[in-house]
Amino acid sequence: MTTTVLLTGASGFIALHIIDVLLSKGYKVIGTVRSQSKADKIIKNFQNEKPSGDLSFEIVEDISIPNAFDHVLEKHPEITKVIHAASPFFYGVDKDSLKTTYLVPATKGTENILTAIDKFGSKVENVVITSSFAAIVHRHKLARKYISENKVSYELTTVNPPFVLGPQKFEDVLINPTLNTSAETINKLLKTDPSDEHFFDTPLGLATDVRDVALLHVLPLEDQNLKGKRLFPVNGAFNGQTLLNVINKNFKDLKIAKGKPEGAEEHVAKNHWFYDSSKSLEWSGLGKWIPLEKTIIDSVSQILEYQKANEK
Ligand code: NDP
């Protein structure tokens, strides 16, 4: 019998890659999105690529409204796996609006999916939540607190990525002047001024490839060893200058900033977070993460090819 997976926030950057993995593995996917037009667009894109894929949608306009997911779980008692990827995601929110625009929807959304499962998801065996590197650093673990305080019958796994980079699942979003928060990191560098010679010390962070992140959401649905784990994929540390250096090395004709190429790796080595993602690599059985250089090259290639195909 086909296994049914509920994926929340199905229109997101990471979520579209998760749909791709799920459909490739033959799962039936029920996504939640905020509007029918988003659902129609995603169905159309996947119909071209995976015509036999079983993909449908339910509308959840706002994950933070009480009982937001109840109607979905109630309507689909066949759901046995849940991946919760819906959450507002952006950097640079000022302290005053952080709570309302970010923390409230994120935490309420998580609470709402877990309570909907309690009420209507008696067959749910696995729950995978897209968390964040920030939740490791700051030890905010609402979902884990919830399952320790409530008797639940499913296994919880979290995926805790740092900056998620890499190509978009479908290039149509490249029509937008800016991309989703993390992918915009690279897109922004392609708009830099060739005469700019300052050292791009920001952003500074750890990175991972969106395709590995997507896979890590699906493996726990199948692999007993991943149940209960917190998965932390990292393919390297970077700053704006190391990204620029990789882009300039691989796309020599591009007219973008060179910055100050020297000393970039040293700057990253001195300033990035200490990390060790070897356990996640071992547990997942992936062998190696997609290398950061490939992540960058694939992102840039997709953007350039799209621009070339659409130049007037
Ligand atoms: P996107 O912004 O691309 O996707 C977020 C998804 O959540 C979209 O489908 C969005 O819908 C939906 N969503 C946001 N707020 C609401 C709301 N109030 N009600 C209903 N739906 C909502 O982000 P990513 O794919 O990059 O990130 C997905 C998850 O991964 C998030 O939880 C994020 O915190 C986490 N993460 C991401 C990282 C990254 O670098 N990208 C790093 C670490 C964690 P719509 O498109 O309609 O707004």
Query: Residues 77, 135: one domain?
Result: yes
- Cβ atoms of 140 and 97 closer than 8 Å: no
| One domain for residues 29 and 50 | yes
Say how many Å lie between the CA of residue 85 and the centre of ligand 1.
6
Tell me the pLDDT tens digit for each residue of 35-50: 999 999 999 999 999 9
Same domain, 254 and 300: yes
184 and 61 together in one domain = no
| 248 Cβ inside 6 Å of ligand 1 | no
In this structure, the answer to whether residues 9 and 132 fall within a common structural domain is yes
d(CA 236, CA 291): 8
Do 80 and 153 belong together in one domain?
A: yes
Pair (92, 184) in one structural domain: no
- Is 31 a pocket residue for ligand 1 (Cβ < 6 Å)? no
Helix axes 13-24 and 210-218, enclosed angle (nearest 10): 50
- β-pairing verdict for 236-239 and 204-209: antiparallel
Q: Which two tokens stand for residue 243?
A: 């990204």
181 in the same domain as 154: no
Does an H or E element contain 190, and which?
none
Model pLDDT, residue 92: 60
Which residues of the chain fall below pLDDT 50? none
128 C-alpha to center of ligand 1: Å? 15
Residues 29 and 121 in one domain: yes
85 Cβ closer than 6 Å to some ligand 1 atom? yes
* Predicted pLDDT at 142: 85
User: Range of 194's domain?
Assistant: 165-206+235-277+285-312
Rounded CA separation 114/300 (Å): 38
- Smallest CA separation from ligand 1 atom 8, residue: 12
Same structural domain, 2 and 36? yes
177 and 296 both lie in a single domain: yes
Counting the structural domains of the chain, the total is 2
Same domain assignment for residues 46 and 102: yes
